[in-house]
Amino acid sequence: MLISTDVWVSALIRRAELAGASAVVVRKGDARAGAVLLKAYNTVERTARLYAETIGLDGDRLWIQPHPDVPEFELDAYAARQADYDPDIWLVEIEDRQGRHFLVEAVADEG
């Protein structure tokens, strides 16, 4: 059974906050089945990474970085384009001294 997006996002935010990070929902999408974009901001290095939710070959949730190694304003522009395309999408931003994303699912290129 899949968990609804609003519950999943709440759990992500709670994990981040328990670890001392700041997390906020910037854009709220469909509560039951909206896709999620996650922006992780490293407050020390002042860099950001964007993670997009997708489904892996095994049918499980997988996170990818659609635009690795680009400036933050390009990540924000990508997120805005996705929101224009998909009104059900969520955007969550996490600010952390280590730039952690707090995802427990598989992240492409991270093992």
What is the tens place of the pLDDT at every residue in 76-102? 999 999 999 999 999 999 999 999 999
Residue from 72, 81, 60, 73 nearest 99 by CA: 72
pLDDT band, residue 1 (cuts 50/70/90): very low
Q: What is the CATH number of domain 5-107?
A: 3.40.1530.20
Query: How many angstroms separate the CA atoms of 15 and 1, rounded?
Result: 21
The model carries a pTM of 0.91
The burial of 92, by beta-carbon neighbours within 10 Å (0-12 exposed, 13-18 middle, 19 or more buried), is given as buried
pLDDT in tens, 35-56: 999 999 999 999 999 999 888 8
The SS3 call for residue 41 is: strand
Domain ranges of the chain: 5-107
